[in-house]
């Protein structure tokens, strides 16, 4: 069974920073494609950053230059460093994963991912 546990959310002022962490269990970390996905109230889920099993990174335009996704294989942890936060970044942030392929979907489609964490809330206020 694959489990993903996120942490690191919280409240921060506009322009501030947060670092989210996701610890997966039940599989070999380096063989899965992973992503951070967010969902604000009343809005669709948005994939904001992806990292594939080889370490290739991609970002949504909405966060490019501000967010950094990374993974520490030794610590078995996925991170999302979020800088220059804006009010519109407020959302529940989820860690997501899929084994090797994206199930015929774009890596930026939430449907590409088979496993999800419980989410961690990020609130940005002025």
Reported as a single tens digit per residue, the pLDDT across 70-119 is: 999 889 899 999 999 999 999 999 999 999 899 999 999 999 999 999 99
- Burial (CB < 10 A; 0-12, 13-18, 19+), residue 21, is middle
Reported as a single tens digit per residue, the pLDDT across 14-28 is: 999 999 999 998 776
Across 41-51, average pLDDT: 97
Partners of 7 in the β-ladder: 21
Query: How far is Cα 4 from Cα 104, in angstroms, rounded to an integer?
Result: 22
Helix (H, G, I), strand (E, B) or coil at 44: coil
Phi then psi dihedrals of residue 16, to 5 deg:
-80, -175
Helix (H, G, I), strand (E, B) or coil at 111: helix
Q: Given pLDDT bands bounded at 50, 70 and 90, which one contains residue 62? A: very high
Which residues are CB-neighbours of 36 under 8 A, at least 6 positions away? 20, 22, 47, 48, 49, 50, 67, 69, 78, 80, 93, 94, 95, 96
């Amino acid at each position: 069974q694959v489990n993903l546990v996120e942490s690191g959310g919280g409240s921060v002022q506009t322009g501030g920073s947060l670092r989210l962490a996701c610890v997966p269990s039940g599989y070999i970390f380096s063989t899965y494609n992973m992503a951070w996905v967010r969902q604000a109230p009343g809005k669709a889920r948005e994939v904001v950053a992806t990292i594939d099993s080889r370490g290739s990174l991609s970002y949504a335009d909405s966060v490019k230059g501000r967010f950094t996704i990374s993974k520490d294989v030794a610590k078995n942890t996925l991170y999302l460093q979020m800088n220059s936060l804006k009010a519109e970044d407020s959302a529940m942030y989820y860690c997501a994963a899929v084994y090797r392929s994206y199930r015929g979907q774009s890596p930026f489609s939430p449907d590409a991912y088979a496993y999800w964490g419980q989410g961690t809330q990020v609130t940005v206020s002025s």
